[in-house]
Amino acid sequence: MIILKLGGSILTKKDSSKPKINFKNLNRVTIEIKDFLNDYDLKNNGLIIIHGAGSFGHPYAKKYKIGEPFPDKEYPKKRIGFSIVHNSVNKFNGVISNCFIENNIPIVPIPPSSIIKTSHKRVSYFNLDLIEAYISQGFLPILYGDVVLDDKLKMAVVSGDQILSYLAKNLKFEKVILATDVDGVFNRNPKLYNDAKLIKVLNSFEDLDGFDSTTSVDVTGGMFGKIQELFELADLGIESMIINAQTPNLIKNALEGVEVKGTLIKSKI
Ligand code: ADP
């Protein structure tokens, strides 16, 4: 089974204050996945896709401060904020789903707000039965960064990266691939430092020097949040790979098991 996360940074113009899709990337990435599926038995092997929220989620989640504690009197405003964030990421998912269906890929979108709850922003409930049932019938489930109910904070944002990490821990995966808009993890943010060096194999935070953690737009921790999730997987013996989806054919090759440029987050077992 393979789990593939498509970063919000490749499918949207992430730093836009208004939701904006990067159709060029979306179309190319969908075709790469379609080409891979020509020789892949979905029913017997399984594939799950998760996409980030990008500019469809972060600006609204920030505006309504989803995930921050609030007094009960603010509930009406928070609830509508929750609805707005969900509606926005759901619309984004609709566009992605359309593109997959046009390419004859049997996707089934599963909104995380319908099957996940968190406690202090960490997943505490996840209806995996439904996902397994869809996979066993040859569907390709698609999940995405979304808003969810939180036992402690009332509501929170759950990132695509956390969903990926939960699924990888709880279902059996042979490959965990994260596609983003940079070649992998660098010792410093490659978008800010020209001398940033790609780390091909990442064992621990000590491999990162002066790590500049996140993009300013990401409410769920950017690259730093991603690595934290992936180290949790590494502790359990699950390896993952961060690759650049801007580079044509990298997703297809990674899915096919061809060695590609990127960062391997090494298993610690
Ligand atoms: P996605 O939306 O694809 O999940 P994120 O925006 O969360 O991706 O994280 C990718 C971004 O992290 C890159 O665009 C890059 O600007 C930023 N970043 C910050 N520090 C680093 C680093 N040390 N190595 C790689 N990327 C980094």
| Nearest CA owner, ligand 1 atom 25 | 185
Which stretches of the chain are DSSP H helices?
8-11, 23-37, 42-45, 58-63, 75-102, 112-115, 128-136, 160-170, 222-235, 250-256
Instruction: Tell whether ligand 1 has an atom less than 6 A from the beta carbon of residue 88.
Output: no
Other beta carbons within 10 angstroms of residue 229's beta carbon come to 25
pLDDT computed for residue 189 by the predictor: 87
| Nearest CA owner, ligand 1 atom 21 | 189
Task: Name residues of the chain where pLDDT drops below 50.
Answer: none
pLDDT computed for residue 211 by the predictor: 61
How many whole angstroms separate alpha carbon 162 and alpha carbon 65? 19
Ligand 1 atom at minimal distance to the Cα of residue 217: 6
Q: What share of the chain is helix, strand, coil (3-state, %, to 5)?
A: 40, 20, 40
Instruction: Tell whether ligand 1 has an atom less than 6 A from the beta carbon of residue 113.
Output: no
Gyration radius of the chain over CA positions: 18
Ligand 1 atom at minimal distance to the Cα of residue 10: 3
| Nearest CA owner, ligand 1 atom 3 | 7
Instruction: Tell whether ligand 1 has an atom less than 6 A from the beta carbon of residue 224.
Output: no
User: Of 50, 213, 215, which is best to mutate to test ligand 1, by the most ligand atoms within 8 angstroms of its C-beta?
Assistant: 215
How many whole angstroms separate alpha carbon 252 and alpha carbon 208? 28
Ligand 1 atom at minimal distance to the Cα of residue 186: 24
How many whole angstroms separate alpha carbon 94 and alpha carbon 109? 8
How many whole angstroms separate alpha carbon 99 and alpha carbon 27? 7
For residue 200, which of 185, 182, 189, 180 has the smallest C-alpha distance?
A: 185
Instruction: Tell whether ligand 1 has an atom less than 6 A from the beta carbon of residue 186.
Output: yes
Q: Which two three-digit tokens encode residue 59?
A: 């600006």
How many whole angstroms separate alpha carbon 145 and alpha carbon 23? 19
How many whole angstroms separate alpha carbon 250 and alpha carbon 126? 31
* 23-37 and 75-102 helices, crossing angle to 10°: 50
Instruction: Tell whether ligand 1 has an atom less than 6 A from the beta carbon of residue 180.
Output: yes
Instruction: Tell whether ligand 1 has an atom less than 6 A from the beta carbon of residue 92.
Output: no
Distance from residue 182's CA to the centre of ligand 1 (Å): 7
Amino acid at 73: K
Distance from residue 114's CA to the centre of ligand 1 (Å): 28
| Nearest CA owner, ligand 1 atom 5 | 222
Instruction: Tell whether ligand 1 has an atom less than 6 A from the beta carbon of residue 182.
Output: yes
Q: Which two three-digit tokens encode residue 222?
A: 């950017």
CATH 3.40.1160.10 fits 2-265, yes or no: yes
Ligand 1 atom at minimal distance to the Cα of residue 191: 16
How many whole angstroms separate alpha carbon 21 and alpha carbon 47? 24
How many whole angstroms separate alpha carbon 116 and alpha carbon 86? 13
pLDDT computed for residue 268 by the predictor: 83
Alpha carbon 165 to its chain's center: 9
Give one DSSP letter per residue of 84-108, joined into a string. HHHHHHHHHHHHHHHHHHHTT--EE
For the question of whether the overall pTM of this predicted structure is more than 0.75, the answer is: yes
For residue 53, which of 92, 109, 111 has the smallest C-alpha distance?
A: 92
